Every structure is written in C-alpha cells, then in structure tokens.
Amino acid sequence: MKFYKGLLLFLLINFSALAIGSWIMNDGPRTEWYINLNQAPWSPPGWVFGMAWSSIMILFSVYMTFLIQVNRSKKVILLFSIQFALNVFWNYFFFNQHLVLLGLLNIIILTLLMFYFLVAYKHSLQNKRFYVLPYCIWLVLATSLNLYIALYN
C-alpha cells in the first residue's frame, strides 16, 4: 500500500508539471511563430508529444516512488524539484517567450539531470533505474529538435 500512495503522489506531481507547462506555453505549438519555424526533418507528429510525455511521466513516477523508498534524502527531493522546474519552464522559455537558446540551455540541463538520475542511483535501484530511461531518450530527441530550431531559424 505504501508504494501505491507514493506512486499516486508522484503521478499527481508529475502530471501537474505537464498541466502547468501546457498552460504557460500559451498555445505554443499551434501559434504562427512555431508553425513557421524551420523544424527538424525528424520531428514527430504533434500527437506523439502528448502520448510520449504521458508515458514518460507514468514511468518516471514509478521510478521516483522506488527511489524515494530507498533514499528519502534532501538531495533526491531537491533534484526532483529542479527537474520539475526545468520541465515546466522549458515550455515558458521556448513556446511562450520564443527564447529558443534559453530553452536549449534549459533542456540540456534537464537532460543531464535525468541521466544523473539514471546513473547516480544504479546501486540503490539496480534494474528499476531503467524506468527513467525513456525520459532520458525522449530528452535527447527533444534537445536535438530544440538545437535544430536554434541553428536554422
């Protein structure tokens, strides 16, 4: 039961990050600014983003539930909080304010942080650490999309 309470808490927090990010992006992906950008040829269709982020946040919630059960340190809570802020603010920087380079810096830091989660807690979580791997992979793709926009617009 303890696991499921933690999972529910992380699901609520992580999906609230998605909701806040979606709200502050101010209709970003449907704006004329974004539509007219020179985008990477490997950009997935728009519907993939919602599906990917939903799946990623479910898996990340499972990861965080396992991690917090074995390591309830202030450092883990701080890193999770930084992840939350970086995840939310990328939407604001990139879509709302059109600050592509600041968005790129933000997503690079977020990507490094998520790979830190993957590597730093490998002994504590063993194979359970791979629940965070889809987040890492998606961020590599998202970083490449942001970089392409920064370079070619």
Please check whether residue 26 lies inside any domain of the structure.
Answer: no
Q: Is the pLDDT of residue 60 over 90?
A: yes
Task: Specify if 130 maps to a domain.
Answer: yes
pLDDT at 1: 78
The predicted pLDDT at position 113 comes to: 98
Q: What is the pTM of this model?
A: 0.96
Number of domains making up the chain? 1
The answer to whether residue 67 sits within a structural domain is yes
The CA-based angle 107-94-106, given to 5 degrees, is 20
Backbone angles phi, psi at 26, to 5 degrees: 55, 55
Q: What angle do CA 58, 60, 62 make, to 5 degrees?
A: 75
- 42 within domain boundaries: no
Total length of the chain: 153
The answer to whether residue 37 sits within a structural domain is no
Q: Report if residue 29 sits inside a domain.
A: no
| Average pLDDT over every residue of 47-58 | 96
| Domain limits for position 118 | 2-11+55-152
pLDDT per position as a tens digit, 99-127: 999 999 999 999 999 999 999 999 999 99
Place 23 in a pLDDT band, splitting at 50, 70 and 90.
very high
By percentage, how much of the chain surpasses pLDDT 90? 97
Q: Does residue 21 fall inside a structural domain?
A: no
Q: Single out the residue of 24, 12, 129, 43 nearest to residue 87, CA to CA.
A: 24
Distance between CA 117 and CA 86 in Å, rounded? 14
Domain for residue 40, yes or no? no
